[in-house]
C-alpha cells in the first residue's frame, strides 16, 4: 500500500507503533520496523540521553529498516535533559521523531537540520494546525478513544479525522482505537494516510512487557477503561483496576481541591512495577478502548500482515462490491 505516509517515512505499510512508556524498547520498535511498519523507541523511558543512545544502538542491531524515537514533552517541574536526548537522536542517525505533549518548536530546528522527519502527535485540529504551521512533517491525530492522554476536548475519531482532513495539508495518521484491517480502511476513508497503534502492539509476542499486561488487555472489553486526572487537566485513559477506582474516589472526594500530591501513590513511578513485574494493581496505566477489539497475542509480523491482508480484502472485495455503476 502506498500513501503519503509510506512515502514520507520510507516504509512498506502505513502502520506506526506509537511511543509507549516502559513498552517502547528496542525489541518492540525493531519488530514493528522489521514487519514493514515504523517502530518507535520511547525516549523518556531511558533515564538519561546516554541510555537512549544505547537503546538506539540496540535497535539498529535488530533492524536495518527505519525506526523512530518518541520525545514526550511533559508538564513536569524538573524538565528532562531534552537537548541531550535530541543529541542522542541526531548522533544515533535516527530519521524519524514522534513528538507529543507540548509544542515541539524548541527542538524542530535541530531535528530538521539533521534531516529528521517530525511527526507531532496531538488530540485536536487546533494543535494539528499549529504543528503544521511550525513545520512538522506530519501529525498523528489521537482521538478520544485512545490509550494515554486524549486531551480535554473529547472528540472521537469519526469526527476528528475528517475534520483534520478538511484542514490539514501535511500527511496525518489516525491514532486511537486502531486494531485491524477495518480500522486501517476506515482511517483511510476518513482522510488519514495511515494508522498509529499503541494498545494493540502491547498484546504481541515481542512486546517486552510482563505476560500479565498482555493478558489484562485480552481480557478487557471496550467498557473497561476509565479517564483519570481530569480535574488536573491532564486526563489519561487507563485500564480500570483497584488503583484507578481508588484514584477516582479521591477525585470525587476532593473535587476542585485535588492536587497531584493526593494521587502520587497511584501514578508516580508505577510503570516499571506494572510493565516489568506484572503487579497489575500497582497503579494506573494507559490503555485504549480498543482493548475490546483485542483477543489474541500474535507476533508483530502476524499482526501487521493480517491487518494488511484484511485491509486489501475489504477494499478490493467488500467495498468494490458495493459500487454498482
Ligand atoms: C501503556 C501506554 C503508554 C503510553 N506512553 C506514551 C508516551 O510515553 N508518550 C506518548 O507520546 N504516547 C504514549 N502513549 C500513547 C500511544 O503512543 C498512542 O498514541 C495511543 O496508545 C493510541 O491509542 P490506542 O492505544 O487506542 O492505539 C502510550 C499508550 C499506552 C497504551
Burial bucket for residue 176 (CB in 10 Å: 0-12, 13-18, 19+): buried
pLDDT at 78: 79
DSSP string, 220-237: --TT-EEEE-GGGT--EE
Q: Measured in angstroms, how far is the CA atom of residue 234 from the centroid of ligand 1?
A: 14
Give CA–CA dist 300/74, Å, rounded. Answer: 29
Determine the Cα–Cα distance for residues 148 and 267; give it in Å rounded to an integer. Answer: 13
Ligand 1 centroid distance, CA of 147 (Å): 5
Question: How many other CB atoms are there within 10 angstroms of residue 214's CB atom?
Answer: 19
Paired residues of 175 in beta bridges: 142, 196
For ligand 1, mutation pick of 198, 199, 201, 222 (most atoms within 8 Å of CB): 198
Helix (H) or strand (E) holding 40: strand 39-42
**Would you state the pLDDT for residue 109?**
97
Q: Of all protein residues, whose CA lies closest to atom 30 belonging to ligand 1?
A: 286
Ligand 1 center–CA 7 separation, angstroms: 24
The alpha carbon of 213 and the centre of ligand 1 are apart by a number of angstroms equal to 14
Rg of the chain (C-alpha set): 19
**Site to substitute for ligand 1 among 37, 147, 212, most atoms within 8 A of C-beta:** 147
For position 248, what pLDDT does the model report?
Answer: 98
Site to substitute for ligand 1 among 20, 100, 120, 289, most atoms within 8 A of C-beta:
20
Measured N-to-C along each axis, helices 242-254 and 260-267 cross at an angle, to the nearest 10 degrees, of 180
Burial class of residue 189 in the structure, from the number of CB atoms within 10 Å of its CB (0-12 exposed, 13-18 middle, 19+ buried): middle
**Cβ(165)–Cβ(252) below 8 Å:** no
- The torsion angles phi and psi of 185, rounded to 5 degrees, stand at -65, -40
DSSP 44: G
Residue 325 to residue 142: CA distance in whole angstroms? 36
Closest residue CA from atom 18 of ligand 1: 198
What pLDDT, on the 0 to 100 scale, is given for residue 74? 82
> Ligand 1: distance of its center to the CA of 100 in Å?
10
Residues in the ligand 1 pocket, defined by CB under 6 Å = 18-21, 23, 42, 70, 72, 100, 121, 142, 145-148, 175-178, 196-200, 285-288, 290
Q: Where are the beta strands (DSSP E) in 74-211?
A: 96-101, 117-122, 138-142, 172-175, 195-197
- Axis crossing angle, helix 49-62 with helix 26-34, rounded to the nearest 10: 30
Please tell me the distance between residue 20's alpha carbon and the centre of ligand 1 in angstroms.
5
User: What does the alpha-carbon distance between residue 322 and residue 125 come to, in Å, rounded to a whole number?
Assistant: 32
What's the rounded Cα separation, in Å, for the pair 127 and 124? 5
Q: pLDDT digit of tens for each residue in the chain (325 aa)?
A: 999 999 999 999 999 999 999 999 999 999 999 999 999 999 999 999 999 999 999 999 999 999 999 999 987 767 899 999 999 999 999 999 999 999 999 999 999 999 999 999 999 999 999 999 999 999 999 999 999 999 999 999 999 999 999 999 999 999 999 999 999 999 999 999 999 999 999 999 999 999 999 999 999 999 999 999 999 999 999 999 999 999 999 999 999 999 999 999 999 999 999 999 999 999 999 999 999 999 999 999 999 999 999 999 999 999 999 998 7
Amino acid at each position: 500500500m502506498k500513501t503519503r505516509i509510506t512515502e514520507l517515512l520510507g516504509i512498506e505499510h502505513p502502520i506506526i507503533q506509537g511511543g509507549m512508556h516502559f513498552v517502547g524498547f528496542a525489541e518492540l520498535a525493531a519488530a514493528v520496523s522489521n514487519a514493514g511498519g515504523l517502530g518507535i523507541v520511547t525516549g523518556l523511558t531511558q533515564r538519561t540521553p546516554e541510555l537512549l543512545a544505547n537503546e538506539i544502538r540496540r535497535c539498529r542491531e535488530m533492524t536495518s529498516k527505519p525506526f523512530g524515537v518518541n520525545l514526550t514533552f511533559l508538564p513536569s517541574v524538573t524538565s528532562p535533559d531534552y537537548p541531550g536526548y535530541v543529541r542522542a537522536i541526531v548522533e544515533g542517525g535516527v530519521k524519524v521523531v514522534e513528538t507529543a505533549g507540548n509544542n515541539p518548536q524548541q527542538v524542530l530546528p535541530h531535528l530538521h537540520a539533521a534531516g529528521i522527519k517530525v511527526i507531532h502527535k496531538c488530540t485536536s485540529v487546533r494543535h494539528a494546525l499549529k504543528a503544521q504551521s511550525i513545520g512538522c512533517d506530519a501529525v498523528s491525530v489521537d482521538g478520544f478513544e485512545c490509550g494515554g492522554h486524549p486531551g480535554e476536548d473529547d472528540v472521537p475519531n469519526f469526527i476528528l479525522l475528517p475534520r483534520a482532513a478538511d484542514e490539514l495539508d501535511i500527511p496525518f495518521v489516525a491514532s486511537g482505537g486502531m486494531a485491524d484491517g477495518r480500522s486501517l480502511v476506515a482511517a483511510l476513508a476518513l482522510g488519514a494516510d495511515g494508522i498509529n497503534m499503541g494498545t494493540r502492539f502491547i498484546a504481541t509476542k515481542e512486546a517486552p512487557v510482563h505476560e500479565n499486561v498482555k493478558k489484562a488487555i485480552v481480557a478487557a472489553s471496550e467498557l473497561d477503561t476509565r479517564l483519570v486526572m481530569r480535574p488536573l487537566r491532564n486526563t489519561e485513559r487507563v485500564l480500570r483496576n483497584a488503583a484507578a477506582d481508588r484514584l477516582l474516589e479521591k477525585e470525587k472526594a476532593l473535587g476542585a481541591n485535588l492536587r497531584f500530591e493526593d494521587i502520587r501513590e497511584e501514578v508516580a513511578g508505577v510503570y516499571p512495577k506494572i510493565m516489568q513485574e506484572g503487579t497489575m494493581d500497582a497503579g494506573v496505566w494507559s490503555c485504549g478502548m480498543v482493548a475490546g477489539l483485542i483477543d489474541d497475542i500474535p507476533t508483530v509480523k502476524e499482526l501487521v500482515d493480517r491487518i494488511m491482508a484484511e485491509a486489501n480484502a475489504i477494499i478490493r472485495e467488500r467495498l468494490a462490491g458495493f459500487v454498482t455503476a
